[in-house]
A and B are shown apart, each in its own frame.
Chain A
């Protein structure tokens, strides 16, 4: 089939912009063959120092000013200078156009790998995964960040850097609790955002005080007193504060909102790490191999590519010193490869464990898997016994009431389902993050705010909660209490702020 002479693309090692464009064109062509649907790409070449800048501002091209980003930058810089860490080859941003940063130090092969990985793998994931579709609006995030940056800067000029910093610190402490896990947010543009922000300011302030308005004595006084506010427990602490904290100024509410919005924007990324990286690895692997099969890239190119690729998807064993948990790249890549295998060459076992995909069209199936799942559900749906055996997975139960750790299951016939279940649970954010909700506000009394912590499997809250309560108190303005609700329903006061005792 190689009768027609195909001239392979130059394989570097130095890259040039012309060469980048040639490669990009080829990768784009192959990606279309595999039906990868992407946002337009904007590929930016940056230096190592700029990469550290990008690291520091949580990967966003623009962000508001805050000391913690400075700290992050100093840390990154120190580690990098001392050689304790390498920098990522690439950073990609869920925006439209999809911005990808390539480091200038990369060789041509690495640039091609990164383009296939980020600009086609991650990009198509951002565009098509249901979580991203639901929760993020790629077209407006950059605009929103510009708005946020300007707004924060304006507040700093108007109210002073320290004032703003106080609010931001407190918000950051609660950032993980600033997401709606179940409600669907609306999409809005920057213009609307600005107009509505002004609206909101006025409206919110007028509403807040209503909460405390002394009501005339109602005939059914007992019933009213027993009614809680909020009527249902609220999981989104920042949202609750933004809407209900009695003493916040309008601009402070807006700051709370900004932190909450950004937290919400990153929420899907937290939930799809394995899938997202696995998907990107799966596609850089396929695209570059496809180019190789066509004779478009040289063998030298492939050797270098495979070297990097295998490094990325390597999974060290639990007893190695450099083991630090399951490598999401490895797990994701192997699962997608396995889905393809199950589709193409299903075994009897696969037909038993994964009947819904065995023997189906592989391309359609991987797209379906990418679009409709998050890590947790992806694993519970598609983790096959073969992958478990390849990884030699085993589950450990660690109960502090026991003197021993117990091996709950290993990669054998009896263990497959249990391991699948446990691994899936391991990626369930609601298992990882402590369950803390706003339970009650003493509306008619001292306006104190009560949070409930419901532990799972008796896992306690780390001592840092005392500090976080102080932040919460700063935002709320009145007493704040944190109560642990034990399995038997008994309540235990974990802490309160201010702590008078």
Chain B
């Protein structure tokens, strides 16, 4: 006698815990693989997870087992040429031997690397572990709100489309019962009397007449109670509740003047990728605005932003002005969380730097959640850096960092967004 059970609908993630344990245990190795992979991605390509490979020897589970050597004998099937006492050349890799004699092999089927796919979420978790968006929490509820309507009971007036018929008729019924109950009782009594009189053999004509009159009057009064009254109407009530917004826009500002070579732009690109990935962790929709500038600023798409060649001088304030325009026009700061990251090699037309400082201080910094400036250069800092440095003292959500080589990107990024430390660190 057998018992059949359909388990197909049971959850399939029975090994999820074990998988997480595995990831947890090899976090260091996996994290390293993940950080290595950051540079290879497009800015907005975050739909996939990441292929991770870690050395097999790190994850092997050692057991006591026998090694090569000594004297063994093995029985094999399929003899096609041998006779007893034949001598055979030892196969070079030991193929003909060892297979099947129970040699415990190290796990991993002879691969050097243990490859596997981690999901997008696991990937991002690892990448942004211990990071937090600065200034998000305290601003979330005070002004960045949108509203969501939800049902909240009934009210006496409203538009016809919100009329709740069942509820209204309940009210009508109750009112009619309340207003006519007493009269209906009297009516019933009178009708009984009338029956009784009519059944009586004596002549009660007058009395009958009187009762009939009373009955007619009662009926008229009952009929006067309206079937439905405005008093009965009930309308569904909706109220609005403020919701923290999940909209964010990220401004990528980059200097593309002649002094920025492709290597520097690459570094900037990687930084932007990180920032974009990080923002998508906290917000459902992230708009990315690319602004590049030399002496003039222009809003461009991703491809152009990173790869088109430009030459010319540098006026940083042009980009800041354009950003301000775009914010005022399309991204009101009471609806959007605005983040900005500016990358530059530090070159700027000397007269322009004070203007940049002024623009940021007056117009932009009050609007944005966080503004990060990274300077990618091997040289001395110039006027722009000094100007910005002054601002960091006034605005805690303004941070500047210096990147020298590709290796600095991730550490700098972590520094910028490290949990708790942001406020003090930036100041």
The CA of A302 and the CA of B80, in the complex, are separated in Å by 33
Give min CB distance, A458 to chain B, whole Å.
4
Total contacting residues, chain B, CB less than 8 A? 66
B87:A28 contact, CB within 8 angstroms: no
Give min CB distance, B4 to chain A, whole Å.
5
A456 nearest CB neighbor, chain B only: B70
Instruction: Kindly list chain A residues whose C-beta atoms are within 8 Å of the C-beta of B10.
Output: 46, 50
Q: Chain A CB within 10 Å — which of B23, B76, B90 has the most?
A: B76
A73:B65 contact, CB within 8 angstroms: no
Q: A1 interface residue, CB < 8 Å from B?
A: no
- Interface segment out of the listed B98-106, B170-178, B215-223, B296-304: B98-106
Q: B308 interface residue, CB < 8 Å from A?
A: no
A175:B4 contact, CB within 8 angstroms: no
A392:B62 contact, CB within 8 angstroms: no
B97:A396 contact, CB within 8 angstroms: yes
- Interface segment out of the listed B13-21, B139-147, B271-279: B13-21
Q: Chain A CB within 10 Å — which of B15, B64, B70 has the most?
A: B64
A173:B63 contact, CB within 8 angstroms: yes
Instruction: Kindly list chain A residues whose C-beta atoms are within 8 Å of the C-beta of B1.
Output: 28, 40-41
Instruction: Kindly list chain A residues whose C-beta atoms are within 8 Å of the C-beta of B166.
Output: none
B22:A459 contact, CB within 8 angstroms: no
A434:B73 contact, CB within 8 angstroms: no
Instruction: Kindly list chain B residues whose C-beta atoms are within 8 Å of the C-beta of A42.
Output: 2-3, 5
- CB contact list, B87-132 vs A, under 8 A: 87-90, 96-97, 99-102, 106-108, 114-117
The CA of A422 and the CA of B3, in the complex, are separated in Å by 43
A463:B115 contact, CB within 8 angstroms: no
CB-contact partner of A74 in B12, B13, B19, B69, under 8 A: B19
The CA of A189 and the CA of B90, in the complex, are separated in Å by 54
Total contacting residues, chain A, CB less than 8 A? 101
B61:A459 contact, CB within 8 angstroms: no
Q: B75 interface residue, CB < 8 Å from A?
A: yes
Give min CB distance, B64 to chain A, whole Å.
5
B64:A434 contact, CB within 8 angstroms: yes
Q: A436 interface residue, CB < 8 Å from B?
A: yes
Give min CB distance, B69 to chain A, whole Å.
5
Knowing A44-B5, A391-B77 touch, does A78 contact B12 (C-beta < 8 A)? no
Q: B380 interface residue, CB < 8 Å from A?
A: no
Q: A143 interface residue, CB < 8 Å from B?
A: no
Instruction: Kindly list chain A residues whose C-beta atoms are within 8 Å of the C-beta of B73.
Output: 395-398, 408, 422, 425
Q: A70 interface residue, CB < 8 Å from B?
A: yes
- CB contact list, A101-158 vs B, under 8 A: 101, 104, 115, 119
A434:B65 contact, CB within 8 angstroms: yes
Q: Chain A CB within 10 Å — which of B2, B3, B99 has the most?
A: B2
B12 nearest CB neighbor, chain A only: A49
A17 nearest CB neighbor, chain B only: B4
Instruction: Kindly list chain A residues whose C-beta atoms are within 8 Å of the C-beta of B80.
Output: 317, 319, 392
- CB contact list, A397-434 vs B, under 8 A: 397-401, 403-412, 414-415, 419, 422-423, 425-426, 432-434
CB-contact partner of A40 in B2, B18, B24, under 8 A: B2
A70:B100 contact, CB within 8 angstroms: no
A459:B66 contact, CB within 8 angstroms: yes
- Interface segment out of the listed A275-283, A320-328, A355-363: A320-328
A404:B89 contact, CB within 8 angstroms: yes
Instruction: Kindly list chain A residues whose C-beta atoms are within 8 Å of the C-beta of B17.
Output: 65, 70
Give min CB distance, A114 to chain B, whole Å.
12
Q: Chain B CB within 10 Å — which of A28, A74, A397 has the most?
A: A74
A316:B19 contact, CB within 8 angstroms: no
The CA of A430 and the CA of B68, in the complex, are separated in Å by 17
CB-contact partner of A468 in B8, B63, B70, B78, under 8 A: B63
The CA of A405 and the CA of B87, in the complex, are separated in Å by 6
The CA of A219 and the CA of B65, in the complex, are separated in Å by 44
B21:A70 contact, CB within 8 angstroms: yes
B15:A73 contact, CB within 8 angstroms: yes
Instruction: Kindly list chain A residues whose C-beta atoms are within 8 Å of the C-beta of B68.
Output: 400, 460
CB-contact partner of A17 in B6, B61, B66, under 8 A: B6
Give min CB distance, B173 to chain A, whole Å.
52
CB-contact partner of A462 in B23, B67, B99, under 8 A: B67
Instruction: Kindly list chain A residues whose C-beta atoms are within 8 Å of the C-beta of B77.
Output: 315-318, 326, 391-393
B97:A45 contact, CB within 8 angstroms: no
Instruction: Kindly list chain A residues whose C-beta atoms are within 8 Å of the C-beta of B72.
Output: 397-399, 457, 459
**What per-residue 1/0 map shows which CB atoms of A170-187 lie under 8 Å from chain B?**
001111110000000000
Knowing A44-B5, A50-B7 touch, does A464 contact B65 (C-beta < 8 A)? yes
Instruction: Kindly list chain B residues whose C-beta atoms are within 8 Å of the C-beta of A41.
Output: 1-3
Q: Chain A CB within 10 Å — which of B15, B70, B88, B96 has the most?
A: B15
Interface, chain B (partner A; CB < 8 A) = 1-8, 10, 12-15, 17-25, 59-80, 82-90, 96-97, 99-102, 106-108, 114-117
A sample of 23 cross-chain residue pairs with beta-carbon separation below 8 angstroms, ordered by A number, consists of A21-B4, A42-B3, A65-B21, A68-B61, A75-B116, A161-B24, A318-B79, A325-B101, A326-B77, A392-B78, A393-B76, A393-B77, A398-B90, A403-B90, A408-B73, A425-B73, A426-B100, A426-B102, A455-B70, A458-B71, A459-B71, A461-B67, A471-B62
What 10 pairs across the A-B complex have the smallest Cβ distances?
A325-B100, A317-B78, A70-B22, A459-B70, A70-B18, A467-B62, A462-B67, A432-B102, A41-B2, A458-B70
